[in-house]
Structure 1
Amino acid sequence: MTTAAEQVVRRGRKFDQVLEGARTIFLRDGFDGASVDDIAREAGVSKATLYAYFPDKQLLFKEICAQECLRQTQEAEAEIDPSMTVEAMLTLAGERIAGFLLSDFGQNACRLIIGEGARFPELARDFYRNGPGLVHDRLVHHLHLLVQAGALQIDDLDLAAEQFIHLCKAALMEKLVFRMDHQVTAESVRRSVRGAVEMFMARYGARA
């Protein structure tokens, strides 16, 4: 067993290969059900190589979630144009929030955390920090810029960010958690995001 000081991720030539294999197995078998043997086999590496990069299975799962969440957040921010209207910027953010929730990775990772979070609370906390927590922090940053520009009037940025995120998930989250995916359509997503933007602007839009 490795000590706390040894719990570090090491990179090498087959690092991405290991991550991709582990991602497949985790999403298929869950965290507890994913075996090191299956991960190594799926990644096409030896167990020695796997342990050289990730001495602990939790580290491997955390790295997968952190990279995927960061990638999607950076892609969304890269699409922001300073010339956008507030409504257009919020719509983009809302579509990205809903898009992650609807993606195969987003759905499977959320179900995995919900199902196993009680047994592995540290995993749940890390997933929140690297996923929903990261989205919240970046949204707070952009809302702050809009407030400074006079486009929004918000006293509590943290609360406003939470409200917008959950408004975007209205009529979507529970259907996905309870595997009613067939009721989630492109139109229902647009409806949720459009309603979130309209309600948010009605509450926080700058008034003359």
Structure 2
Amino acid sequence: MNDTATRSLDSPKARQILKGAKATFLEFGYEGASTDEIVRRAGVSKGTMYNYFPDKRALFTAVIEEECSAQANRLFELASRREDTEATLREIAHKLVALLLSPSMQDLYRLAVSEAVRFPELARSFYDSGPDLGTRRLSQFLAAAVARNELAIDDVELAAHQFDQLCKADIFYKRLFGIRKTFDQAELDRIAKGAVDMFLKAYRP
């Protein structure tokens, strides 16, 4: 993507294109999403789309990176505001469980997995911007807690991955594979509480 396009992604026209592209990719997948359908949903011409994004791959990458980065920023913004480690972990767990089960994130997971074999670089964009970014942000928070002697962790990166998996226990894959489509708040609270309780049993000094 050229510098002009990169600087313009916050413009109303770019937002319009990204919104139309996201809806098209989620419905048809990367391969099935045509540029004709993208511009139709975005309400722009192909020329306008190409002024912002040089090709469909760049547009797909922008959609994935923006969506995942926005979710990660909302999820972990609280980690920089508070130093109460347990309270912050519990809030992160509740937000993460809800995020993992949200329709938008479930759709992105399915899209990335479905395209991973044919387009591994696109799946890598999702991983780098989503799961890996979240793990890196959580690792930073855990490292700060270790420095305050509130947690005792030798490998904070591994611990961050473990926390993520604890927040997926029981319900994430049921939702991903369509075994169950809805969960009540008590079920979400159960997973979030169990994740933090087990994590602290392992890593509290």
Amino acid aligned to 1:69: C
User: How big is the shift at 1:21?
Assistant: 0.7
Partner residue of 1:66? Answer: 65
Aligned counterparts of 2:103 and 2:176: Cα–Cα separation in 1: 13
User: SS state of the match for residue 118, structure 1?
Assistant: coil
> Matches of 1:184 and 1:31 in 2, distance apart?
29
Decide whether the 8 Å contact of 2:175 with 2:181 is kept in 1.
no
**For 1:19 and 1:57, how far apart are their aligned partners in 2?**
11
Find the counterpart in structure 2 of residue 41 from structure 1.
Answer: 40
Which residue of 2, 20, 32 corresponds with 1:8? 2
Following superposition, the deviation at residue 69 of structure 1 comes to: 1.6
Indicate if the aligned counterparts of 1:175 and 1:184 stay in contact, CA closer than 8 A. no
Matched-pair contact (CA < 8 Å) for 1:147–1:153: yes
Tell me how far 1:128 sits from its aligned partner.
0.3
Instruction: Tell me the SS of whatever aligns to 2:153.
Output: coil
Mind listing any 5+ residue stretches in structure 2 that lack a counterpart? none
Gaps of 5+ in 1: 1-6
- The aligned length equals 199
State the distance in 1 between where 2:83 and 2:154 align: 24
Q: Within 5 A, what are the aligned runs for 1:150-189? A: 150-182=149-181, 184-189=183-188
1:61 is aligned with what amino acid? F
Structure 1: distance between partners of 2:176 and 2:39: 30
Letter in 2 for 1:82: R
Inter-partner Cα distance in structure 2 for 1:13 and 1:166: 37
Aligned CA-pair RMSD: 1.6
Aligned counterpart, 1:22: 21
**8 Å contact kept, 2:18–2:63:** yes
Instruction: Indicate if the aligned counterparts of 1:90 and 1:197 stay in contact, CA closer than 8 A.
Output: yes
Query: Identity percentage over the alignment?
Result: 40
- Matches of 2:49 and 2:55 in 1, distance apart? 10
> SS where residue 181 of structure 2 aligns?
helix
Shift of 1:183: 5.2
